[in-house]
């Protein structure tokens, strides 16, 4: 293995590796891995990055092309950190350098930092009226779209189009990206009128971009053709023009075959084209009995794309998540709810608490439709101080989602478990209300949750509703449009059901699982039986009386058992003491 001494030699080795095959490529990759390890070592000196940052970004891009994903990300990560340190007291790097780094981070699906870096680039470009401004805006729109920020994506895309119409010169790729985002946003929002306008402009951008290329096998050109055919198919379906829809379905199939031939079956753009074809095939099949085979073929095609994406991109990659959500949609729509399998996507143990929290947070953050929650107190979702899921709920509400929650009444029968101190007075019908009102659960969790709910209700009128149930809740259930999570409770003590560490297990399942449909059905029943907060508060004295009666009945039952007297049976079969 040859030792690489500097960034120049590393770039040469990476370029040679792309051309080499077999053992020669393996040797070069080993040399590159050694160089990256030294480069990213905490002891390494990075003063030269002031002049070679762009070269390090290029190296990371080449490593990514070589399939050395982790090494590429390490180089990108250390480059970002040292660029930020270099600019602590003065501006050093040009807008295009920040833009390239932001695009690289987006390739690694590090979308939050990609947006941050692209905003660095944007601020710098605006001050200098730099020619890269349109490209930066277009990249910001694309990253925002992938992160699920539709409104932001639309704004950035329109700004890019506006800039391209001014004096900054032409940029076919920037125009293609901006118009592509506009098409995707209109499609997701089901805005047919806007989609029709965006498709016309996108078609012109596709032609302009392809004309500017020297090779016709550019991955972005192949993906753009597929996206254009998909958008035209949606317009045809909206207009109920079956003939034109079938024509665009053919174009989608050609785009997919072309991607397979030129890029390979596992390439990210090939998988996107395959998913678009599958969704269109499923949509075109409709509900006709004779189309069952066509729907099954579409499901199989999307299933294959999802499996490949998970293998090549990773289970948590935004593209894999999007494909898995689409697969769950068409699977759940192709079979009766009672015929869906009891599939579990993942079982999280307490040792996987961070992974569990990340998965739930991402599911909430991506939601644009409806979030449903059943929990004992819902503190993780309503209270800021827990730093758990409240920011994601607020984000979803800002994106237009609705939030419906069911929590336990503090006066239900579980209140009898509140005190377990052997020296404390046993709960009885006279003191049970005071015991609950004095508990940490009531004072530090229940009341703050109610206050938080009222704040959310005022801030997002019509989007948030909380109901209280007197039925014991066996566990916490969270449902978004595509995913579900369930964590069983292992204790009946209200004070040990909230403000605690993850200590049991939690299952994650998708929309195409019977667990999802069963959970959604259970939520509907609970929702009908639960009381809206205003109604609950208007009748709170009755709820307290019901708790006293329940405690009294239990005390009477204990006394009866303590007598040890045998029971006789009345003539009607009813037992009595």
Q: What is the pLDDT of residue 47?
A: 57
- Degrees to nearest 5, angle at CA 73 with 71 and 76: 115
- Taking a C-beta distance cutoff of 8 angstroms, is the pair 178, 160 a contact? yes
129: left (phi over 0), alpha (psi -120 to 50) or beta: left
- Taking a C-beta distance cutoff of 8 angstroms, is the pair 546, 500 a contact? no
Q: With 0.75 as the threshold, say if the pTM is over it.
A: no
- Taking a C-beta distance cutoff of 8 angstroms, is the pair 207, 178 a contact? no
The Cα 507–Cα 345 span in angstroms is 7
- Degrees to nearest 5, angle at CA 574 with 571 and 577: 100
The Cα 443–Cα 434 span in angstroms is 12
Instruction: State the burial class of residue 417 (Cβ atoms within 10 Å of its Cβ: 0-12, 13-18, 19+).
Output: middle
The DSSP line for 527-552 is HHHSEEHHHHHHTHHHHHHHHHHHHH
The Cα 191–Cα 199 span in angstroms is 12
Residue-level pLDDT, tens digit, the chain, 577 residues? 678 988 999 999 999 999 998 888 999 999 999 999 988 887 766 555 667 889 999 999 999 999 899 999 999 999 999 898 888 778 889 999 999 999 999 999 999 999 999 999 999 888 776 788 999 999 999 999 988 888 899 999 999 999 988 654 578 999 999 999 999 999 988 899 999 999 999 999 999 999 888 776 788 898 999 999 999 999 999 888 989 999 998 999 998 999 899 888 888 889 888 988 888 888 887 655 446 777 888 888 888 988 888 888 888 787 888 888 888 888 877 777 788 889 898 999 999 999 999 999 989 988 888 999 999 999 999 999 888 999 999 999 998 899 999 999 999 878 777 765 555 677 788 888 988 898 888 999 999 999 999 999 999 999 999 999 998 888 999 999 889 999 999 888 777 778 778 888 999 999 889 999 999 999 999 999 999 999 999 999 999 998 888 888 876 555 545 445 455 445 554 444 4
């Amino acid at each position: 293995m040859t030792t690489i001494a500097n960034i120049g030699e590393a770039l040469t080795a990476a370029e040679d590796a792309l051309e080499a095959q077999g053992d020669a490529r393996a040797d070069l990759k080993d040399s590159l891995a050694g160089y990256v390890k030294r480069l990213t070592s905490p002891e390494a000196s990075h003063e030269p990055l002031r002049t070679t940052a762009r070269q390090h970004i290029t190296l990371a891009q080449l490593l990514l092309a070589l399939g050395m994903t982790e090494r590429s990300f390490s180089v990108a990560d250390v480059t970002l950190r040292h660029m930020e340190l270099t600019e602590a007291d003065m501006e050093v790097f040009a807008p295009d350098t920040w833009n390239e780094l932001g695009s690289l981070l987006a390739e690694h699906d590090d979308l939050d930092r990609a947006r941050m870096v692209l905003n660095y680039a944007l601020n710098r470009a605006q001050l200098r009226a730099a020619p890269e401004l349109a490209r930066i805006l277009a990249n910001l729109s694309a990253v925002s779209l992938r992160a699920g920020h539709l409104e932001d994506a639309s704004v950035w895309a329109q700004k890019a189009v506006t800039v391209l119409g001014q004096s900054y010169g032409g940029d076919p790729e920037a125009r293609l990206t901006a118009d592509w985002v506009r098409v995707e946003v209109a499609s997701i929002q089901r805005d047919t009128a806007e989609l029709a306008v965006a498709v016309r402009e996108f078609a012109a951008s596709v032609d302009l971009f392809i004309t500017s290329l020297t090779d016709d096998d550019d991955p972005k050109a192949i993906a753009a053709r597929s996206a254009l055919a998909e958008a035209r198919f949606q317009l045809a379906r909206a207009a109920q023009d079956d003939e034109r829809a079938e024509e665009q379905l053919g174009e989608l199939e050609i785009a997919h075959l072309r991607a397979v031939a030129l890029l390979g079956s596992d390439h990210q753009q090939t998988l996107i084209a395959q998913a678009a074809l599958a969704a269109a095939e499923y949509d075109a099949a409709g509900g006709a009995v004779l189309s069952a085979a066509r729907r099954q073929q579409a499901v199989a095609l999307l299933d294959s794309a999802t499996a490949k994406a998970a293998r090549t991109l990773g289970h948590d990659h935004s593209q894999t998540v999007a494909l898995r959500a689409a697969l769950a949609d068409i699977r759940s729509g192709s079979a009766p709810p009672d015929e869906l399998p009891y599939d579990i996507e993942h079982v999280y143990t307490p040792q996987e608490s961070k992974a569990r929290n990340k998965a739930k947070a991402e599911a909430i953050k991506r939601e644009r439709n409806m979030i449903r929650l059943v929990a004992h107190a819902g503190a993780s979702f309503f209270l800021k101080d827990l730093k758990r899921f409240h920011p994601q709920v607020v984000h979803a509400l800002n994106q237009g989602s609705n939030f419906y929650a069911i929590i336990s009444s503090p006066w239900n029968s579980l209140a009898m478990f509140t005190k377990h101190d052997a020296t404390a007075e046993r709960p009885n019908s006279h003191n049970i209300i005071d015991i609950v009102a004095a508990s940490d659960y009531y004072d530090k969790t229940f009341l703050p949750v109610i206050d938080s709910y009222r704040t959310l209700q005022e801030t997002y009128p019509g989007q948030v509703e909380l109901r209280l149930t007197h039925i014991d809740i066996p566990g916490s259930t969270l449902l978004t449009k595509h995913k579900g999570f369930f964590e069983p409770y292992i204790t009946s003590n209200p004070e040990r059901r909230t403000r605690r560490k993850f200590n049991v297990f939690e299952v994650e399942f998708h929309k195409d699982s019977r667990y999802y449909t069963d959970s959604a059905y259970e939520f509907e029943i609970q929702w009908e039986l639960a009381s809206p907060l205003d109604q609950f508060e208007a009748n709170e004295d009755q709820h307290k009386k019901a708790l006293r009666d329940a405690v009294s009945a239990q005390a009477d039952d204990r006394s009866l058992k303590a007598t040890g007297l045998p029971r006789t049976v009345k003539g009607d079969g009813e037992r009595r003491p």
